[in-house]
Amino acid sequence: MNPLPTIYKTMRFVGDGFIRSVNGMEDAMEMVEYIADTPINLSKPFDLNFIHTFGTVFKVVDNNAESANLCFGIESDGKRYFVKFAGAPKENIDLGTVEESVEWLKQAAWTYQALEHKNLIKFIKGEEIGGGYAAVFEWVDAECIGISYPAARQKFLNLPTQAKLQAFDDILNFHAHVAEREYVAIDFYSDQVMYSFENGQTTICDIDFYRESPYYGDKGLWGSANFVSPEECVPGSRVDEVTMVYTMGATAFSIFTDHSRDYEVWTLSRQAYDVAAKAVSNDRDMRQQSVQQFRREWKESRL
């Protein structure tokens, strides 16, 4: 008869939290680390003590299973920062491997510097630490307005039309800047947008996968289905500024109809609807051929 499997429970303190395994088997120990009272599921033991070298953790910002990154709100010397770390063995990672996440974040550090803008979260520094890589940004007092944050999203959708028009203009202006720098938005959707209900400031908080244009994707679909163009669904297809026009049209529908593309629920003029509908044409040749053209037609539709 085979012996019963070993069952164990271990616990150790890590900074202001602790890591523990519960009901684990010999070859599959589940690790849960608590930081700022928030559980982080890990596939194997990993020391996150290094995070406290940045300051005091006041919030675990995102424990999203889609990403291999861990994100923290950090306070140091009276200032707040947003720290994104790649390198921890999170459980059930849907996007890439731990090793890939480190390389992606290193590349992203260059992208944030290349695309610096008033509506982009401000990158401060990046460094190799804790067996991985950390990117440090200024903290933004705002709320994500994507579908993953339903309360904040509904609050945003309930804003007066003029406030939403200004937010969309901020998103559009940033992406015109992206196009001018000869980059293209990859994996952009509403979860990447933060909005301050106090001062009306719009901030793009995640451009990790933006790439120099044109980009020939080898992985097929990246991002939310509500924002992804037909060409982005085909591995190896050209992704460029015309693709980004589609993204901006989809963004308009996400703000002024909550993703529906039916005119009956559109909340602006027919002229504005036609501009957005043109942008999300499945036929690339039928779209506006640049973000500047889309922006110009959008402004004219509101006169």
CA of 119: how far to CAs of 46, 55, 94, 224, 250, in Å?
Answer: 35, 26, 29, 21, 19
pTM for the model: 0.87
The dihedral built from the CA positions of residue 299, 178, 187 and 80, taken in this order, carries a sign that is negative
pLDDT top residue among 70 and 96: 70
CA distance 283 to 72: 41
Say which range, 98-112, 134-148, 205-219, has the weakest mean pLDDT. 205-219
Q: Model confidence over 31-80: pLDDT tens digits?
A: 777 888 888 888 888 889 899 999 999 999 865 656 789 999 999 999 99
pLDDT top residue among 162 and 66: 162
pLDDT at 94: 67
Output the DSSP codes for 173-226.
HHHHHHHHTTEE--S--GGGEEE-TTT--EEE---TT-EESSEE-SS---S-TT
Find residue 28's DSSP bridge partners: 25
